[in-house]
Amino acid sequence: MIFPRRSGILLHVTSLPGEHGIGDIGESAHEFIDFLAGSGQKIWQVLPLNPTGYGDSPYQCFSAFAGNPLFINLSALREEGLLSDADLASAPDFPDERVAYDQVITFKQRLLHKAARAFFADRTAADRGAFDTFCQERRQWLEDYALFMACKKVHHDVAWVHWDVRIRQRDSAALKEWQHELASELEFHRFTQFEFFRQWEKVRSLCSRHGISIMGDIPIYIAHDSADVWAHPELFRLDERGWPTAVAGVPPDYFSATGQLWGNPLYRWDVSASSGHRWWIDRCRSSLGMFDLVRLDHFRGFEAYWEVPATASTAAEGKWVQGPGAEFFRILQAELKELPFVAENLGVITPGVEALRHTFGFPGMSLLQFAFGKDPQGPSFRPHNYSRELVAYTGGHDNDTTLGWWTSSGVGESTRTEEDIREEHDFTRRYLGFQNEEVNWVFIRTVLASVANTAIVPLQDVLGLGSEARMNLPGTVSGNWRWRYKANSLTKEMRQQLLDLTLLYDR
């Protein structure tokens, strides 16, 4: 697929401002879209929008299909008559620059349950029809998701491998019994999905009116504690009790001496292929129903993936195993026709990975922060080596902000020494030809001026924020995914500065 020359902003929904503790898909999302339009941006890139589990990470979700109920805008529910002013006024005093997940979950779950009860007690014929149609159209994943979440609550939120054996193993009689016993809780989860997607369609419609495409994200791997693994255990490398026998990660590299041990169960690609990769087709079709473009996280795993024994203590104990390769994407293409995918091809990339990407015309990615150090792949991230079929970033969600990268020592976050970092900064100045300018705007100008057809800038770099606004530090399990920008941070001057650069470089 040919991507036109344009630019956009990377900002996860959680980072939007608002009064209910976490960014949502209501008014603040609409205001951000207005900022995108006013600054000439044509892409809004988000992280996965699924319901988060372990560590509140959007890459460890309870479902690959469901939307995150925490993103439902409560003010919209009040306007629908499902909540009252008093309900919203009962909100705790949430911090406005970070997400306090425990508080948010407790508060929003209580009000979402109240809204669901009001909806089912007094819904109009039109709402009833829309709800029934939604449930029927999404039945393929919605019923498993609703029952999974309901069973999880009964079992005090422990992972499904610790549940009662009959429901853990999906005994058909047990499924019927639990569906009957938990009928009202299943209706609650159907309702939250109905509301999430109803509100999300308004976001998509507004973006479409402004000519803005939304780029979503498909993580290659699924959380072990998820409706998908519970409902389709045959697709994953599990033992007879449901525990993974082999898990995902990446090998040691320049930035990590022991690699990264993600812990997600690996796929049984042979079993997936025997079904014509039906689950994957459904997953991609669902994502393309939500987004205009999709970033394929850890694309290299489709060519070859790093397999780590489930008993290993670090990812260094793994090995490379051949992935599903070109045949997988040919099957997707035959079913879905157009594949507007961006391949996240960072890390240990081989000629085979690049050949697979080029075969299907998927643009790769480049992060400017990686261009100036001693990483052997550094030269490929320098703008004079860019191709037009590329998505160029100042940095990504796993990086520090550009200002944070520039001003912090960086020691302890990688295998680099203080001397390495001094040399990296010196080379950065010489390459980009700057002295005292704001480094974030130097980086923004560089990617916008490049030949890459697509340029994406994290909002933190537009705002000129430091490490306090970092979204994620890989290898850590707490304190991530919390940053939010404050209301009124997006000034007219900032919008004009971004618009001027966007117009200057024909974006």
- Please tell me the predicted confidence (pLDDT) of residue 474: 85
What are 251-279's pLDDT values in tens digits?
987 667 888 899 999 999 999 999 999 99
Q: How many CA atoms lie within 13 A of 244 on its CB side?
A: 25
Residue 126 domain flag: yes
Residue 371 domain flag: yes
Per annotation, catalytic residue among 317, 398, 420, 423: 398
What are 433-491's pLDDT values in tens digits?
999 899 999 999 999 999 999 999 999 999 999 999 999 998 788 899 999 999 999 99
Strands 43-45 vs 6-10: parallel, antiparallel or unpaired = parallel
Q: Do 38 and 492 form a contact (C-beta atoms < 8 A)?
A: no
Number of domains observed in the structure of the chain: 1
What are 129-160's pLDDT values in tens digits?
999 999 999 999 999 999 999 999 999 999 99
Task: Tell me the β-bridge partners of 320.
Answer: 306
Taken in order 106, 107, 112, 115, is the CA torsion positive or negative? positive
Residue 296 domain flag: yes
Residue 308 DSSP SS3: strand
Residue 1 domain flag: no
Beta strands in 139-281 (DSSP E): 213-218, 246-250, 260-265
What are 489-504's pLDDT values in tens digits?
999 999 999 999 999 9
CA distance 230 to 226: 6
CA distance 64 to 287: 9
What separation in angstroms does the CA of 204 have from each of 40, 152, 296, 389? 17, 31, 20, 25
pLDDT above 60: residue 171: yes
Nearest residue to 250 (alpha-carbon basis) of 353, 339, 401, 387 = 353
What separation in angstroms does the CA of 336 have from each of 169, 287, 329? 32, 11, 10
Q: Do 63 and 279 form a contact (C-beta atoms < 8 A)?
A: no
398 among known catalytic residues: yes
Which phi and psi (to 5°) does residue 488 adopt? 75, 10
Residue 270 domain flag: yes
Q: What DSSP line would sit under 182-211, residue for residue?
A: THHHHHHHHHHHHHHHHHHHHHHHHHHHTT
Average pLDDT, the chain: 95
CATH number (domain holding residue 295): 3.20.20.80
Q: What DSSP line would sit under 415-440, residue for residue?
A: S--HHHHHHHHHHHHHHHT-SSS-HH
How far does Cα 368 stand from its chain's mean position?
21
Per annotation, catalytic residue among 195, 297, 413, 461: 297
- Please tell me the predicted confidence (pLDDT) of residue 376: 81
Residue 441 domain flag: yes
Per annotation, catalytic residue among 344, 400, 413, 461: 344
CA distance 172 to 161: 17
Residue 269 domain flag: yes
* Domain of residue 207, residue span: 6-504
297 among known catalytic residues: yes
* Percentage of residues in the chain having pLDDT higher than 90: 91
CA distance 96 to 487: 9
Residue 259 domain flag: yes
438 among known catalytic residues: no
